[in-house]
Amino acid sequence: MLYAHQNFCEISLISSSALSEAKPANAQKASGRSSGGGSDSSGGGSAGGGGRRGGRKEDSNWWTRLQKIPWDDKEFRMYFLSAAAFWTTVGYYFFFRNAAQEVTWKDFVNSYLSKGVVDRLEVINKRYVKVIFSPGKAPVSGYVWFNIGSVDTFERNLETAQVELGIEGENRLPVVYTSESDGSFLLSMLPTVLIIAFLLFTLRRGPAAGGRPGRGMGGLFSVGETTAKVLRDEIDVKFKDVAGCEEAKLEIMEFVNFLKNPKQYQDLGAKIPKGAILTGPPGTGKTLLAKATAGEANVPFITVNGSEFLEMFVGVGPARVRDLFVLARKNAPCILFIDEIDAVGRKRGRGNFGGQSEQENTLNQLLVEMDGFNTATNVVVLAGTNRPDILDPALMRPGRFDRQIYIGPPDIKGRASIFKVHLRPLKLDSSLDKGTLARKMAALTPGFSGADIANVCNEAALIAARHLSDTITQKHFEQAIERVIGGLEKKTQVLQPEEKKTVAYHEAGHAVAGWYLEHADPLLKVSIIPRGKGLGYAQYLPKEQYLYTKEQLLDRMCMTLGGRVSEEIFFSRITTGAQDDLRKVTQSAYAQIVQFGMNDKVGQVSFDLPRQGEMVLEKPYSEATARLIDSEVRQLINTAYQRTHALLSEKKAEVEKVALRLLEKEVLDKNDMVELLGQRPFAEKSTYEEFVEGTGSMDEDTSLPEGLKDWNKELEFLF
């Protein structure tokens, strides 16, 4: 039996196998037209919205395009001039040097040296020789040149050639040795220059550039700058979009009211709390409440994620914390929100074996910055986490986070309010009233968080669209609840007839056991259609209950064991399908004995059970106590099993009725169960009105105290 969500709409599933169980959406670009002024992508748009005039396409004019180049940008001018100088130099060396012709040594001797037209020879860089002709005797324009192997070889060959040609003494050619740059040096340096240019570009514009525009050099030099975002009018979420946590909303409204009207509090000698931390399970609306605060505050809202303080570079975290609070002081009055603060606020001294922890240094800097705040700076620090138990005590003390605001799963009135928020944009059937539908859905979803409710509404719309419905009906919402709790329905999964029969009797055992146990939850539906990981499921409707007695917990255990007992009674064998049921029963038994002190032999003691996935190095009790606990757990489970066996043996005919009807229809609801078994012998609540009876009002109390009725307005009459 698998309860897909703890404490809500419990679904009992028969496990399919014990072995197996062991591009953001492209932002639509602006259409190109700016309303009223500025140029647009289609070419129109002068400052008055004049558009095109005289039928002339101004954007096609080269002068108009040239004027659009950002010559006033200092950085653009630097890049442009650097590129121009580089390509000018390259062009000079490759295109504008004097024309020259390469010849061989034999051609030089026969065509030039022998004819006496050579004035002198210049050996350039000991690699080649430039032939300089006598004035007026140049047989070609420019000059000619030839390569040499080495200077010594060249000199010997030249002397030999002149001897053979009969050139003696003072008529012999002078040889001059010079050095020139032929561009090869630039070519050899080009890779180095490109690498340096790339590094400079990376330092200024690369992905490590976390700094805000206009602050420092950017890039790696700004890695210590905060990555926080300052939001002013960019959030559309308002407090009217947040429901189910009215008390937390009042706390946040008070912070905003202080920033807008500090005199209302200061006249009484009050000081605004320096910070508040929002805690609670995932999906209950902590970050959503922060977004609503940003949308309503009318003051700068600075947001940053706790993980953004942690980098591979030493000292980056503390530097970013310092820069964050400098930014907050500059924008005061403002609200600073640190999401998932447990990433940086973990308790110090854990897992640090002799080394200095960067996370601890970052936390220390955060503690100093928060405690060093002056209450007159009008900066409020909010933080969110779902792991307050691992935060450092120094961070949680008054003076840093003065208030801890717990946002838990909403009650039935809160769920109705949340459903009303998420039903606003949906196209419902005309026969449905949103208020009535919200109450019905709230009664069917005990234990759901705000995120779960949003998911249900979205799934209902998707299901309606899948069936090409024009509107969303109540049936679509009921299917969405089953989809969220139990998983996807698998009508095509092939089950052997024997397996299907076993699943039917297993689920019938759950249903009949819960029907005749006083403290078991009311049954909503039982099915043998595979859904999610299970081959069958039974859906119940738990009460809005926070305290449980031993008798109530025992009835729940018996109902959970009904599937395994039914298999044993009807088939004299057991299967792996009860693996999840046994896990739930074992957890409940250990909780009763170890945590809740509900065992006479173990006594009135309470020990913390390890969290799932948490490594336990040592138990908080002795080995003798551990053996006693194990023994009592087995005895408690055996007691529940025997009680369930006796109940289902007595109601064997009823179990068989339900199982046979399941094999025939595959899905049974409460009306079918009443038809087969008669009315349940115990009173039960199933409607919204029955659940809220005696609680004071039908809806959530959203009234504001007198001092917060104008919480988002500046009051000028206070003295």
Q: What span, in angstroms and rounded, lies between the C-alpha atoms of 503 and 497?
A: 10
Q: 472 with 516: CB under 8 angstroms?
A: no
DSSP 340: S
Which tokens is 545 given?
């209950």
Which tokens is 238 given?
């308002």
Q: What span, in angstroms and rounded, lies between the C-alpha atoms of 228 and 301?
A: 10
Positive or negative: CA dihedral 328, 334, 338, 339: negative
Positive or negative: CA dihedral 485, 488, 491, 496: negative
End-to-end CA distance of the chain: 64
DSSP 113: I
Residue from 10, 507, 654, 700 carrying the catalytic annotation: 507
Q: 388 with 404: CB under 8 angstroms?
A: yes
Q: What is the β-pairing status of strands 379-385 and 334-339?
A: parallel
Burial class (CB in 10 A: 0-12, 13-18, 19+), 154: buried
Positive or negative: CA dihedral 275, 280, 282, 287: negative
Task: Please confirm whether the linkage preceding 333 is cis (ω < 30° from 0).
Answer: yes
Strand pairing partners for 527? 537, 667
Residue closest to 476 by CA, chosen among 489, 457, 491: 457
Sequence-separated (6 or more) residues with CB below 8 Å from residue 626: 619
The 8 Å CB, 24+ separation contacts for 693-701 are 695/413, 697/413, 698/413, 699/413, 699/416, 699/417, 700/243, 700/244, 700/246, 700/413, 700/414, 700/416, 700/417, 701/246
Amino acid at 130: K
Positive or negative: CA dihedral 380, 385, 391, 396: positive
Residue closest to 4 by CA, chosen among 656, 481, 511: 481
Q: What span, in angstroms and rounded, lies between the C-alpha atoms of 175 and 163?
A: 16
Which tokens is 60 given?
């096609």
Q: 609 with 594: CB under 8 angstroms?
A: yes
Q: Say whether 507 is catalytic.
A: yes
Q: What span, in angstroms and rounded, lies between the C-alpha atoms of 543 and 685?
A: 8
**Catalytic site positions:** 507
